[in-house]
Structure 1
Amino acid sequence: MNDTNDLTPNERAWLRFLRDVSNDTDPGITLRRVQLLRRLCEPRRA
């Protein structure tokens, strides 16, 4: 996956989103960050 042409428009949008929320830094992936992103993406329960 070296070429950005391999990314879908949706994947590129997610990368832009991650760059925006991290203020264009490149934070490493951690279990805590994965858990937080998963929680944010879960559907809300009534």
Structure 2
Amino acid sequence: MDETSDLTLNERAWLRFLREVSNGRDPRPTLRRVQLLRRLCAPRRG
């Protein structure tokens, strides 16, 4: 089975977004990068 067929539309959109923000590169997910993405996606506290 093709793994891309298992992706939802939202997952595909996230992949496109990550490709755009990484300028087409394929950087490996380091701890720092994961932490930064989590911080960016976290809701802001008022």
Q: TM-score normalised to the size of structure 2?
A: 0.91
Report SS of the residue matched to 1:14.
helix
The 5 Å alignment of 1:1-40 reads 2-40=2-40
Q: Which amino acid aligns with 1:29?
A: P
* 1:2 to partner: Cα distance: 4.0
Distance (whole Å) between structure 2 residues aligned to residue 8 and residue 40 of structure 1: 22
RMSD: 1.4
**Count of equivalent residues:** 46
> What are structure 1's unaligned runs of at least 5 residues?
none
Structure 1 segments, 4+ long, off by >3 Å, are: none
Gapped runs of 5+ residues in structure 2?
Answer: none
Q: Distance in 2 between matches of 1:26 and 1:2?
A: 20
How far the C-alpha of 1:5 sits from its partner, in A, is 1.1
Percent of aligned pairs with the same amino acid? 76
Task: Give how far 1:3 is off.
Answer: 2.7
Task: Compute the TM-score of the two structures, normalised by the length of structure 1.
Answer: 0.91
